[in-house]
Structure 1
Amino acid sequence: MGDPGLSRRGFLAASAAAGVGVTALSGCGGDSDGGSSDGTTTIEWWNISTTEPTKSVWAALAKKFEAQNPKVKLKIVQLENDAYKSKMTALIASGKLPDIFHTWGGGVLKQQVDAGLVEDLTDRTKDFADGLLPVAKEPYLLDEKVYGIPFDIGMVGFWYNKALFKDAGITEPPTTWSGFLDAVRKLKAKGITPLALAGKETWTGMYYWAYLAMRTAGAAAVQKAYDDKDFTGDPFVQAGQHLQELVDLQPFQKGFLGAAYSSPTGQGATVGNGKAAMELMGQWAPVVQADVGKGLGDDLGFFPFPAVDGGKGTITEVFGGGGGHALRSGAPQEAVDFLKFFASEATDLELVKKTGALPVVPAAESAITDPNIKAVQAQLKGATGFQLYLDQAYAPAVGQEVNDSVGALIAGSKSPQQVTESITKTAKEEQ
Structure 2
Amino acid sequence: MTRNPTLLRGAALAGALILTGCTAGSTGESASSGGKVTLTFLTFETPNLDAKYWDAAIARASAKVPGVTIKKLVSPSADRTGYAKQLDSTGQFPDVMIGLNPAGFAEAGKLAEWSDNELAKYVEPRANTYDGKVYQLPYSAQATFVYYNKSAFAKAGIDAPPRTYDELLDDSAKLKAKGINPFVVGGGGKDSWADMFPLICTVATDVYKKTPDWLSQRSAGKVKFTDPAFVAAAQKVADLTDKGYIDRAGLSRSYADTEQAFRDGKGAMYPMGSWFSASADAKKPSFDTGVFAWPTDQGSSALPGVTGGGMTVSSKAPDVKLAKKWAKAFMEDEKNLNAAVKADGLFIDIKGYTPPDNMGPVYKESVSAFRQAQKSDGVVNSFSQETGDGSLPPGLADKAAAGVQKLLSGGMTAAQFGAYMDSQWDKATR
Q: TM-score range by the shorter chain?
A: 0.7 to 0.9
Distance 1:57 1:403, change over 3 A: closer
3-state secondary structure, aligned to 2:105: helix
What is aligned with 2:143? 155
Q: For 1:93-132, what aligned pairs fall within 5 Å after superposition?
A: 93-105=89-101, 109-122=102-115, 126-132=116-122
3-state secondary structure, aligned to 1:199: coil
The one-letter code sitting in structure 2 at the alignment partner of 1:111 is: G
Runs of 4+ in 1 over 6 A off after TM superposition: none
Distance 1:426 1:71, change over 3 A: closer
Moved more, 375-384 or 331-340: 375-384
Distance of 1:121 and 1:33 partners within structure 2: 28
Instruction: Pick one of 315, 322, 325 that aligns with 2:301.
Output: 315
Distance of 1:224 and 1:72 partners within structure 2: 39
Moved more, 187-196 or 225-234: 225-234
Q: CA deviation at 1:259?
A: 1.4
Distance of 1:296 and 1:376 partners within structure 2: 21
Distance of 1:144 and 1:418 partners within structure 2: 36
Q: Deviations over 1:194-247 (max 9, x none)?
A: 222123243333332233233223242632552325122222222122222211
Distance of 1:50 and 1:301 partners within structure 2: 23
Distance of 1:67 and 1:415 partners within structure 2: 53
Q: CA deviation at 1:303?
A: 0.6
Distance of 1:390 and 1:325 partners within structure 2: 19
What is aligned with 2:229? 235
Q: Deviations over 1:12-61 (max 9, x none)?
A: xxxxxxxxx996344689xx995264544222222123334665444323
Contact kept in structure 2, 1:302 and 1:372, CA below 8 Å: yes
User: Aligned-pair RMSD on alpha carbons?
Assistant: 3.2
Q: TM-score of the superposition, structure 2-length normalised?
A: 0.80
Moved more, 243-252 or 165-174: 243-252
Q: Deviations over 1:117-170 (max 9, x none)?
A: 222233xxx334122021x7523x211112111332111111112122222221
3-state secondary structure, aligned to 1:110: coil
Distance 1:112 1:45, change over 3 A: same
What is aligned with 2:313? 327
Q: Which consecutive unaligned segments of at least 5 residues does structure 2 have?
A: 2-13, 23-27
What is aligned with 1:348? 337
Say yes or no: does 1:303 pair with 2:301.
no
Q: Which has the higher helix share?
A: 1
Q: Which consecutive unaligned segments of at least 5 residues does structure 1 have?
A: 2-20
Distance 1:405 1:191, change over 3 A: same
- What is the number of equivalent residue pairs in this alignment? 394
Contact kept in structure 2, 1:50 and 1:79, CA below 8 Å: no
Q: CA deviation at 1:315?
A: 1.8
Q: For 1:136-215, what aligned pairs fall within 5 Å after superposition?
A: 137-139=126-128, 141-200=129-188, 201-215=191-205
Say yes or no: does 1:223 pair with 2:215.
yes
Q: TM-score of the superposition, structure 1-length normalised?
A: 0.80
Distance 1:95 1:226, change over 3 A: farther
Q: CA deviation at 1:325?
A: 1.4
What is aligned with 2:251? 257
Distance of 2:304 and 2:366 partners within structure 1: 15
What is aligned with 2:404? 406
